[in-house]
Structure 1
Amino acid sequence: MPLVDMPLEQLKQYQGRNPRPADFDAYWERALGELAMVDTQLELIPSTFQTPQAECFDLYFTGVRGARIHAKYLRSRAVSTPQPAVLQFHGYTGDAGEWQDKLAYVSLGFSVLALDCRGQGGLSEDTGGVKGNTHNGHIIRGLDDHPDNLLFRHIYLDTVRLAQIALELPGVDPERVYAMGGSQGGALTIACAALEPRVKKAATTYPFLCDYKRVWEMDLAKDAYHELSIYFRKFDPLHEREDEVFEKLGYIDLQYLASRIQGEVLFITGLMDTICPPSTQFAAYNKITAPKQLVVYPDFGHEYLPGGGDRTMQFFLGE
């Protein structure tokens, strides 16, 4: 079959190219410590969208750096016993989606919490405040500032706070809090499950934000990763800081958070993906030490994967 990356057997052994910062673990412990000091200021506002089966809320909370973060929250009106909850994360630049597309899970007795990533297409705030480039893209936002100011650090922490809220909601079974998403949403699923180990199951589909240097070396700094090319062209045209740049990106490289996951993982990918190359995804998959299932679509890229949504639902249902 045609290949856009390594053969599958090599992918299953690949360990990544992007450097791991020496203080990576301390970095994330410091980040979680900052989050712990933030007053959540949780607010639930009944939505104008309601159904006889689902109670729907606009959920707001305060994340790090004072940003007010929005999520859509739905729960079943019919279930009185503690329910499972699923956290949903969207693709890059998108939003939490429509209310109606979450009702299938609500009909099965799940609560659903769908995040709007800060500064993207939904209602969440991006408080900014970084030095240097804000020309294009969230991967490189804060790259010329202290590593603690990388924007994706804050977004990863927003997923943690959403999980913590879900774990404490009345009517949610804290032993059945799950996470899911594709592309950026798949990346945030990994981040959430890694940084909040009480997430019991994580279903990630072709995750973004892994192994940045491999993306660069494959000449695939385009599409979702185009901002890497923009950064070097605008801010380091001679690549004098290339090693520094990729090491700093290592703080938000999900391959190095993946080993923290304790819950069960369903990992779905396509081998023809030129948006998030398979090797970059396997750099994360191969570091997951928790129970995991791999589902491979040999002929598919970064696109609709037939049966993937059904498999994810069955995974959460325990089937």
Structure 2
Amino acid sequence: MPLIDKPLPELETYLGRNPRPADFDDYWQKALAELNQVKPEYTLTPSSKIVASYAECFDLVFKGVGGADIYAQYLRPKGAENAPILLQFHGYSANAGDWYEKLGYVAEGFCVASMDCRGQGGLSTDPGGVSGTTLNGHIVRGLEDPDPKKLLFRSIFLDTVQLARTIISFEETDENRLAVTGGSQGGALTLACAALEPRVKYAAAMFPFLCDYQRVWEMDLAKKAYEELSYYLRRRDPQHENVQAMFEKLGYIDIQHLAPRIQATTLFGTGLMDDVCPPSTQFAAYNRISAPKSMEIFPDFGHEALPGFQDKVFNFLMQVR
């Protein structure tokens, strides 16, 4: 079997390279405390984008930290009562996608919410003095601010929690049956949400992004989705005078350090030829999860559709019903 990373036996025990800030737990405790102060405002507007005989579809907008308006598609079965919840998160720079993709879960009784990440390819706002989106560059956004709370992914991780809290507040949903899923950036947000919202019961993540930044850079794979790491160092620290401080600061938004907080039953899908989100970075997070977990491994696949994995995800998430 060809390899771009460590042999599988080493992956199964790998615990990551990126440093964990000494005040990591305090950082996220304060972040959640800030989120608690955000007034739970939202609007729910019927959408005409798609018509299904068994579903009601809405444009949902809720308030996130920093005054952002966060958009999500929200679909529920007609006449829903005490329904399970599924939150979906998209890949880097993209958006919530097409409505029809959620209808299979709605047909099985789920209330489904699919969030647009702030400032990327969807409708969520990114307050920062101008209108419009930034699409990417979000990993390094806030690195040069003295206050690490300005890291943009801190806000995005908190948005996943606010989405969960918002959907849980709806009278048709059951807070005890909450599941989350996504791939790449969506996989990272799946894990972040499960780590920061303890009511998540099931989490399915396909090749999660935002894990073990230093390992990505050391593998010379700070390209494609991670290319902003190389861009930042070449433009802002060409002699690497502050490189270790950079990675330590990124440790606040490193999924591997949030992973021990996860209580949900967790499913991973990983391709061992992934040169976008290297397998070792995914294992760095997976190996730190102490909750019930399993990983589906695809030896010859990279950062692409993993044959049959979404079927496994569907069956896995049915357990929350």
Q: The TM-score by the shorter chain falls in which range?
A: over 0.9
CA separation in 1, counterparts of 2:270 and 2:170?
Answer: 32
Aligned to 1:302: 303
Q: Which residue of 2 aligns with 1:101?
A: 101
Inter-partner Cα distance in structure 1 for 2:81 and 2:188? 31
Closer, same or farther: CA 307–2 of 1 in aligned 2, 3 Å: same
For the residues of structure 2 that align with 1:202 and 1:159, how far apart are their CA atoms?
13
**What SS does the corresponding residue of 2:200 show, helix, strand or coil?**
coil
More displaced stretch, 181-190 vs 157-166: 157-166
Q: State the 1:81 CA deviation.
A: 3.5
Letter in 2 for 1:96: A
- Residues 90-132 of structure 1: per-residue CA shift (max 9 Å, x gap): 0000000111111111111111000000000000000126xxx
Measured in 1, the distance between the counterparts of 2:183 and 2:6 equals: 22
- 2:3 and 2:52 map into 1 onto residues whose CA distance is 47
Alpha-carbon offset, residue 162 of structure 1: 0.5
Q: Tell me if structure 1 keeps the 8 A contact 2:121–2:135.
A: no
Normalising by structure 1, we get a TM-score of 0.96
AA aligned to 1:159 is T
The Cα shift of 1:40 comes to: 2.2
Closer/same/farther in 2, CA of residues 311 and 135 from structure 1, 3 Å limit: closer
Aligned-pair Cα RMSD in Å: 1.5
* Aligned twin of 1:240: 241
Is this contact kept in 2: 1:166–1:177, CA < 8 A?
no
Unpaired runs of at least 5, structure 1: none
In structure 1, the partner of 2:158 is 157
What is the DSSP-based 3-state SS (H/G/I as helix, E as strand, rest coil) of the residue aligned with 2:158?
helix
1:11 counterpart = 2:35: no
Return the offset for 1:136: 5.9
Alignment-derived partner of residue 220 in structure 2 = 219
- TM-score between both structures, scaled by the size of structure 2: 0.96
CA distance in 2, matches of 1:173, 1:68: 25
Question: Aligned pair count?
Answer: 315
Which residue pairs with 2:81 in the alignment? 81
2:285 aligned partner: 284
Q: 1:144 to 1:39 in 2, by over 3 A?
A: same
Q: Residue type matched to 2:192 in 1? A: A
**1:33-112 superposed matches below 5 A:** 33-49=33-49, 50-77=51-78, 79-112=79-112
Which amino acid in the other structure matches residue 51 of structure 1?
A
Contact 2:13 2:287 in 1 (8 A): yes
Letter in 2 for 1:312: V
Unpaired stretches in structure 2, ≥5 consecutive residues: none
d(CA) in 1 for partners of 2:254, 2:136: 19
Q: Distance in 1 between matches of 2:40 and 2:80?
A: 26
**Cα distance change of structure 1 residues 171 and 289 upon mapping to structure 2, 3 Å threshold:** same
> Which whole-Å deviations, capped at 9, do the CAs of 1:3-25 have from their partners, x for residues lacking one?
00011110010010000000000
Within 1, Cα distance between the matches of 2:232 and 2:81? 51
Deviation at 1:165, TM superposition (A): 1.3
3-state SS of 1:189 partner: helix
Identity of aligned residues (%): 61
